[in-house]
Chain A
């Protein structure tokens, strides 16, 4: 289907199903139970899952295929956000022009930075991209305040022109981002017994765009262009000695990857029309590296899993506070309860970075291929048992 082989089609369909059913999958606990704390099926977080999924997919095209580790990818995300918010301010609240401009601006910006940075490889390349991203951050934070809003971030105002759209709503408020009248923040809710599921328009818009982005990424992975990028990763010197100029390929990969980041930035601004300079900070660039490695660099679905994992930790684990812990352990004897709370406390709430760090360490040590490798090992384990059974029937494969 769609020019994909059977395995990739299955993968695409699985991802599509997961994404479509996410409101159910992420809200497994009834509304009023203690475990409702762990529900992640609210619009903002679901949007973040897919938007950062797009960001990570794009990053993986560069890092997973060519092995070039960009440490400044957040700059493109930030530039995309600013472009999108400016479209909301000047043109209209329709998200299409905003997203298109975000992708174009990020692409041009990536071309510029890539052209310079790709003259070096390895650690020097990483440092160059990091330097550019920090420079963009510093500019956005102070010098370019008239364009970027500085520390406060770029916001919409009532007196923005919005020349082809509605300037002010009938109620006298700033209009919200929409897709031809479908407001991004609108949701429908479905109550099934104690369960409550939220279906948000913004989420499904992001989800459809992510599926398209994922599809394009599969096509790139399977194309001769993707093969060339892999060749660069395995041995760029040898490739150069064959008389082939590899730089156009790396530059193309860098720009595509930057455009993905711009798309993610544009979508972020469309879901929540504000662009802040922190989006470009080096920690944000580091985050996407973590996402990709955690999920499995160079795999198709890995980055999406990694993005989901990190965003889940950031938004759910970080919100568990001491009071909630005491509720969990209330059934224990008093002394033990306090002891348990003080043991667990450093790892939740503001300590979520610590938990993330430990998980990351474990993944890198025991599952160098990321969460995807974990999945594969489990699958192999079951398959291995099946194969062992078959062996008992005496159908051994010939050794090669």
Chain B
């Protein structure tokens, strides 16, 4: 049983305490004292590297982290400077960013949107990170990008290939250097038409999530424009490890090309199954049966082993490129870690440098100033030839590589050969292209 004794004195006392309690927050230094979120005030600046350290993309995450550590070393003036020497903008001096030493914190995205956001939030709230970068999946990229927009920090996307990142889910504070599904389709289609002819019947197996959908759409529309016919598209669960039951119906159809819109372990398994079913030795409609993998990575090629030989795909960058920027990067990465970098490592390294350079050119860490410096920025010497950061959607436009599994690899890293460097004009699209429709950048948010 409860007893309540309400007295005049008691009420007055409670009121006084409550009043004092309400007044207290005003004597605190409100967080809005600084001009923007996590304004660096000391002699150092903190960047947040949010990469998958566990889960299906842990290999890529580890490589991304290596690249970031290398980038930090170069920004602080250590090592051989890597791409700083070949980068067309000379704002970076190797003395940190605007004279402040670059420090970093790391987090694990686990390739889950929730975990990635929690990790990014702790970097922003606890460690005072001024910029978040990294990730190896579009779902994570989109989720963290939205978070950075709300919090008022810059997001430099890592490996994310879905159209949505700079399409319907684009944000003013987010930037993507990596290429996307549309570009893959546009670059691949002419090469495929050249190699396999224009009257092919394609069958798509697509991973059942956002990236799979946009990639299938991009490859379909590009190849259909070349005269191909799409005879079937089947969605496969992301967690699938045995694709036999999905490959068998391909044999029943009259398709003569199989497109695997799969990434990572999915692609390794589906390709292996397809080869085991003898698809590559098949003759359909008097033509040799072919397999296509729209998005390739070296780590995937390694997983699939000999099965990738002769299979076409596209990639953002490859370490065997012979331009000055790529050579410098491969050189310093190889010296430090003993093996060549992956495309994930490349895009992350470049993103870190681009951010630092933008801050230097803007003369401020303020996210809005950085956004302004990056929008419409043209640069070269970063391994992809002349590149534009388009202002309308914060997507980089550069040449796309069409690659093929190498017939006679000379080492475990030498698995892909470059078939064609598709010029940037061929993969450029209007910002309001139907595959990127919906969504709006909004305006930059400096937070606080």
Contact = CB atoms under 8 A, between A and B. Distances in A.
B143 A42 contact: no
A3 interface: yes
B121 A272 contact: yes
Contacts of B439: 157-158
Contacts of B159: none
Contact of B122 (A44, A150, A171, A349): A44
A146 to B, nearest CB: 11
A199 to B, nearest CB: 7
Given A44-B125, A172-B442, A278-B112, A142 B208 contact: yes
Contact of B150 (A3, A153, A172, A174): A174
B121 A199 contact: no
B143 A274 contact: yes
Interface stretch (B28-36, B264-272, B415-423): B28-36
Contacts of A199: 25, 28
A273 B440 CA distance: 18
Interface stretch (A255-263, A315-323, A357-365): A315-323
Contact of A159 (B108, B172, B211, B440): B440
B440 A185 contact: no
B9 interface: no
A214 interface: no
A300 interface: no
B118 interface: yes
Interface centre among A152, A278, A319, A349 (most CB of B within 10 A): A152
Contacts, number: 140
A151 B105 contact: no
B108 A318 contact: yes
A189 B237 contact: no
Interface residues of B, number: 54
A272 B147 contact: yes
A377 interface: no
B343 interface: no
B235 interface: yes
Nearest to B61: A350
A145 B143 CA distance: 15
B235 A142 contact: yes
B118 A3 contact: no
Contacts of A152: 113, 138-139, 142-143, 162, 164, 169, 210
B209 A272 contact: no
A48 interface: yes
A138 interface: yes
27 contacts: A39-B126, A43-B125, A142-B237, A150-B139, A151-B113, A151-B210, A152-B139, A153-B114, A155-B146, A158-B439, A158-B442, A173-B149, A173-B442, A173-B443, A174-B149, A174-B442, A185-B150, A188-B25, A188-B29, A188-B30, A189-B29, A272-B147, A274-B143, A274-B146, A276-B112, A276-B113, A321-B106
Interface of B: 1-2, 25, 28-31, 53-54, 58, 105-108, 112-115, 117-119, 121-122, 125-126, 137-139, 142-143, 146-147, 149-151, 162, 164, 168-169, 172, 208-211, 213, 235, 237-238, 438-440, 442-443, 445
Instruction: List the 3 shortest-distance A-B pairs measured between CB atoms, nearest first.
Output: A172-B443, A151-B209, A276-B113
